[in-house]
Structures are given as structure tokens and as C-alpha cells.
Structure 1
Amino acid sequence: MPRLSAPPATAGEVFALVRDGEADTRAELGRITGLSRSAVASRVAALTGLGLVIETEDTHSTGGRPPARLSFDIDAGVVLAAAIGRSRSQLGVFTLGGELLASDTVDQEIGVGPDELMPQITKRLQALLDESHRTGHRILGVGLSIPGTADTDRGCSLDSPIMHGWDGVPLAPFFADTTSAPVFLDNDANAMVLAERRDNRDRFQNALLVKASTGLGAGIVAGGALQRGSLGAAGEFGHTKTAAAAGVACRCGDSGCLEAIAGGWALVR
């Protein structure tokens, strides 16, 4: 049904409809969004200009002028991704459709800072581009995840109890020699729950994803929206104090944290 009171659909929202297969003609876009023909044309022109959407004639029309069909071009470029951890980082090159083209893992010394690690990550991502035979393809975005709270506006760690030396350091500048594409940063559990929801075509409005790994964390979606909390710390429960861990040292430097008895490193110990 057309949107009655919401702001006009943006080019990004129009793109999402085409990408997800909900609309493949301008008429369908107009019906779903309530946009005028000229507004639809403007947004489609912007998307085709970026190479994200392809418009072709429908050869299966049975009469009259065939409508032009809109489709998502998953080969319009690539996306780089890095999941940065305390002792290991996972890297990947993806098509716009989410297909993994190349991947690698970087093991690092615990406590290494961004000035040392980030150049290694960008260099390895460039090598993965070469390995995927996509050198020269447009890099349309870079996605990063980190443990702990993230300042998504500045693109840096906000207050991580385990990533010492990373707080307040913007990570986008490290990619300046690799790409001018936008760099997006988020907490690792938030990135995971958003990816899970994306795979399920937004069919669920509420979800709780628990990341039980070396550390503990959760990604929370409620009412169809990611919940960050006023300080960006929603789901950061690993360093909550618990009586069961009283006096037990945690890797954050404190004691009594839930992670000190339930985190992966604690279980191994």
C-alpha cells in the first residue's frame, strides 16, 4: 500500500525495493511508495547513474509498449569487510549481493593498537581484492566491526574494556589510500544481528542475538529497529558484575565480571 504520512521514499529505499525483488518496474515503485512518476524517474536515474540498478526492456510483453524492467546489478562493485577482534581479525571481499569472493584471517598480538594493526588490515584487504580478480572494480563501501561500544558517527571505538588504545581513534582515515568509499563501523554483535535480519528479509521485528565467543555481547532488535541504548552500550553485558565471579580477575583489568567465568578465554582457562 502507498505510504500515507511517512516522508517521501528516498533513492536508498527505492533501491531496497528493487534489490529485494519487491518491485521491478517504475509503476510498481510508484504504487508501493506513493511517489509521483517524476519522483520515481529521478530516483531511478540516480540509481542507474551509480550502476546499482539496470533498466532493460521486457521481451515477454504480450502487447503494447513493454514496461522497462529494473534489476539490481550485484556486479556493480565490491564491499570490503573486517571484523576486528582483540587477538584475531577476519577479513573479506564481497559482491553487492553478499557473495564472499575472498577471505582471510589476521592473527595479532593482544593489545596491538590501531596504528599498527589497521595498516596490516588495509594491506591484506588489497591483496584479497587481487586474489578475487576484482582489482579495478569499484569499492562501494567498507564495513568494520569491533568488540565493545562504537561511535558510529565518528567511526571509532567509544569505550571498550578490552581494546586498549582504540577509543576515540577514527578508523576511516586508514583506508584513505585504498578507497574513497564510505566506511561504516559498528559493534560486532550489532553487525551480526543486522546481517541475520537482512538474510531473513526483515520478517521478524524483534530479535536477540547472543555472541558467546572470547567475549560476551548481544545484538538487540526491537520493533524492527536496532537498539543501541543512550550510551551505545545496549547488549554489552559481558562486564556486568555477578556474585558468581566475585574476586575473579577479568581481562579488562577489573574483577567480578560475568566474562571472567563465562567468556571463552575463561572457560579454556
Structure 2
Amino acid sequence: MSQVTVSQAPDLSHAGGLFQLLRDGQPRTRADLAKSTGLSRPTVAQRIDQLLGLGLITPVSDAVSTGGRPSSQFAFNPRARVVVAADFGASHARLAVTDLTGAVLAELGEEREISEGPVSAIEWLTTSALRLLAEADRSAVDVVGVGIGLPGPVEFSSGRPINPPIMPGWDRFDLPGALKETFSAPVLVDNDVNIMALGERSSAWPDTTDLIFVKVATGIGAGIISGGSLRRGSHGAAGDIGHVALPRAADVPCACGNRGCLEAVASGRAIARELARSGLGTRTPADVVGLVKAGDLAAIQAVRQAGRDLGEVLTTCVSLMNPSLILIGGTMAQAAEHLVAGVREVVYARSIPLSTEHLTIAPSRAAGDAAILGAAHLAIDAALSPDRIAAALNR
């Protein structure tokens, strides 16, 4: 599987398709559903009964009567089940239990090194998830999906990381298989920036069908939503813009083994390293952000230049994909005023007017919540897909 469809016309051949219309939370009567779908009233009534049996919808207050007996309304029941969402970064981990709209019911986060390996991460995830479920007055039986973001390439069809450069011991580790003993629900694993793109869109830009989400932190990567679908490419490597060659960086070595990569000069790690050479004592992207917020001129200029470098690569992306929105997230987005200004300076100057006339370049709105929201929605969309509901009814 190389993409996730964010929106599509529902398949009305079974109750799962009818349910997609009710996921917006708007109460509807049986007559409303028959009219909007073209299905007969007996068919609608049968499928409503099936969805009530699964607990996915619930009766709500009666519709306004036009004479005679009021018509019963039905709406999505987001508390019917829960999902577990996890966001693993290079040096942090965050976990949440959400309802079926992505609303967080319980959460926690802590500093954890992804380099400690998968066994330690799985133990932390399962122990912490069971604790959060108890806090939310739920159990593992109530979980209908688990969504996980990892800071490296992932083969989405299997949920296995593929040669992740900063994740020793994780290569081809069967993460879904390792969680089967705890959760019987589907486990979906993806690259963290893809997760962030989904989270940003679902929470802040639901009507946008073409966007690029760029994470600038220790490294640089992009999540691409085109035509309403998340694009992963044939092997999950779509959006790896951090290793696009940049002329200004031609002689600069990159952690990937090449020279001249965007990431080698414009990532938070690269900026911190360059400022440290000037005697500013920066070791991490957070140190750089701290200097920028304190008004340090050298740090501000370095971040602005990183934005220009990023803008050079994004100019090509704009010409190729024609997005209506470019969002900048990750640790360095905390210095967004200067980073985004650098991106805009180059993209708006070098792209053709047709591509930029309606193009917005802005900081992430979801900010630090983007990844956990995206992981939740990845799990929710899988759990509530028409096929999954049809399978549940068959059981």
C-alpha cells in the first residue's frame, strides 16, 4: 500500500459505507439518509440497526416534527471505542488514548532515546498504554486501532522500519507482530513526518487537498498530501527532501554519507553545529531556538539562511506538485518567524506566479500535537473504514 485516501465517496453496498456519512457527527433521520443515498427506507433501517448493534452510532434528540410522530435521529458515537496513538522521536516518546474523533482522553510523554532499540520501546508502549487506558476507564478490548509514528523510513504495508539511520536494531523489526499479544486491533506504523502531515490536515486544514508538511528538527523531511491522499511513493521514501543536493552545501558532508545535502546545512543539528563553531555553545536545535528567542543576531541570521536553503528545494516541489499550502513544523518551527520568512523569500521570488498566486506558506498550527493527532487519525481511519465495519458485521 503506497497511500492513504483521506477522503473518498462511500461504498453504499453495506452498512460500513452508510456509516461514513454519519462520521461528521451531524444527526440524521432514516428519511434523511434514504434521501441522500438513494437507498430504500427498509435498507437504511436495516443498516442503522446493524450500526447501533456495533455501538458506532447512537440515537439522539428527536428531529423537529412537521406534524404527527417525530422522527428519530442518529449520529456518530465517538466514545464507542478508543485508539492508541504513539509518536516516537529521536529523543522523545509521546503516547495517547483518544476517542474516535481523535479527542485525547489520556496522554503522557517523556524523554526516550529511539536508539535504545525496539524491545525497550515496545515494553514502554504496552505498559504505558494499559495505564492510560485504565485512566480513561477503558481496557485493551476497547482498542480498535493503534497508530505509531517512527523517525525513519517505514514499509507501510508491513509496518516494518527499513534501514532507519538513527534507529539501531530496528531494521525490519515486526512492530505490529510484537503488539499482537497486547492488542488484537490493527497496528499501523508510518514515518513521523507523514503522521504529522495527517495530523496537521485533520486538525487545522480539513478542506485542503494539496499540501506539503515540512519537519525541520534534527533532520529534514516532508509529508505530502496530493489530491486528498497521503503519498508515500513506491518504497515509502517520498518526501525525503533533506537529502536533495544543494549547491551552497556542495562540500559539506552529510550524515547519510553524501555531500551537499540540504540537511547538512539547514537542519537544526547543522545550524547548532555551525553556531557552536562561532563559540555560542549550541549543541541541539532547542539551543538554537533559545538563542533566536533571546534575540541573538547570529542565530537569527543562521535560521533565516536555513529558511532560504529550504526554500530552494521547495521551489522545485512547488513547480512539480503545485500545492496550495506549505507548512513548517518540527523543533525549528519554534523559530518560525525567521525560518518561514526565509522560505517565503525564495519560493515566492523563484516560482512562477501561477503556482504561488494562491500558495500559503505558514508555520504548523498543530505544532507539537501534529504527530500524535496524525497517529490517532491513521488508526481511526483504518478502524472505521467500510471494509473493517463490514468485517465486524460478518463476525
* The two structures share one fold, judged by TM-score above 0.5: yes
- Give CA deviations for 1:139-161 in whole Å, capped at 9, x if unaligned: 12111112233222211223433
Please name the residue that 1:213 is paired with: 217
- Give CA deviations for 1:174-198 in whole Å, capped at 9, x if unaligned: 2223221111122222222222332
Give the partner amino acid of 1:106. Answer: E
In the alignment, the residues of structure 1 paired with residue 142 and residue 74 of structure 2 have an alpha-carbon distance, to the nearest angstrom, of 21
Give the partner amino acid of 1:212. Answer: V
For 2:102, what is the secondary structure of its paired residue?
A: coil
Give the partner amino acid of 1:217. Answer: G
Q: Does 1:46 align with 2:24?
A: no
Report which structure shows greater RCO (CA 8 Å, sep ≥6). 2
Aligned pair count?
A: 265
Give the partner amino acid of 2:102. Answer: G
How much is the aligned-residue C-alpha RMSD, in angstroms? 2.7
**Alignment match of 1:25 (pick from 10, 18, 29):** 29
Give the partner amino acid of 2:107. Answer: S
Deviation at 1:200, TM superposition (A): 5.0
For 1:102, what is the secondary structure of its paired residue?
A: strand
Which 5+ residue runs of structure 1 have no aligned equivalent?
A: none
* Structure showing the higher helix proportion among its residues: 2
* Structure showing the higher strand proportion among its residues: 1
In the alignment, the residues of structure 2 paired with residue 192 and residue 149 of structure 1 have an alpha-carbon distance, to the nearest angstrom, of 14
Label 1:110 to 1:7 Cα distance change in 2 as closer, same or farther (>3 A): closer
In the alignment, the residues of structure 1 paired with residue 228 and residue 10 of structure 2 have an alpha-carbon distance, to the nearest angstrom, of 16
Label 1:37 to 1:234 Cα distance change in 2 as closer, same or farther (>3 A): farther
Provide the identity percentage. 43
Label 1:45 to 1:116 Cα distance change in 2 as closer, same or farther (>3 A): same
Label 1:85 to 1:32 Cα distance change in 2 as closer, same or farther (>3 A): same
Label 1:12 to 1:153 Cα distance change in 2 as closer, same or farther (>3 A): farther
Label 1:194 to 1:34 Cα distance change in 2 as closer, same or farther (>3 A): farther
Deviation at 1:86, TM superposition (A): 2.2
Comparing 95-104 and 32-41, the one that deviates more: 32-41
Is the 1:242–1:257 Cα contact (8 Å) retained in structure 2? yes
- Give CA deviations for 1:206-239 in whole Å, capped at 9, x if unaligned: 1111112222111212222222222222211122
For 2:116, what is the secondary structure of its paired residue?
A: coil
Is the 1:58–1:67 Cα contact (8 Å) retained in structure 2? yes
Q: Which has the larger radius of gyration?
A: 2
**Alignment match of 1:204 (pick from 192, 205, 208):** 208
Q: Does 1:145 align with 2:149?
A: yes
**Alignment match of 2:233 (pick from 215, 229, 234):** 229
Please name the residue that 2:167 is paired with: 163
Which 5+ residue runs of structure 2 have no aligned equivalent?
A: 1-8, 274-395
In the alignment, the residues of structure 2 paired with residue 10 and residue 86 of structure 1 have an alpha-carbon distance, to the nearest angstrom, of 43
Is the 1:208–1:219 Cα contact (8 Å) retained in structure 2? yes
Q: Does 1:240 align with 2:244?
A: yes
**Alignment match of 1:183 (pick from 168, 184, 187):** 187
Label 1:23 to 1:64 Cα distance change in 2 as closer, same or farther (>3 A): same
In the alignment, the residues of structure 2 paired with residue 30 and residue 193 of structure 1 have an alpha-carbon distance, to the nearest angstrom, of 35
Is the 1:14–1:43 Cα contact (8 Å) retained in structure 2? yes
Q: Does 1:154 align with 2:158?
A: yes
Deviation at 1:8, TM superposition (A): 3.4
In the alignment, the residues of structure 2 paired with residue 201 and residue 71 of structure 1 have an alpha-carbon distance, to the nearest angstrom, of 23
In the alignment, the residues of structure 2 paired with residue 46 and residue 196 of structure 1 have an alpha-carbon distance, to the nearest angstrom, of 33
Deviation at 1:53, TM superposition (A): 0.7
Deviation at 1:38, TM superposition (A): 4.5
Is the 1:78–1:137 Cα contact (8 Å) retained in structure 2? no
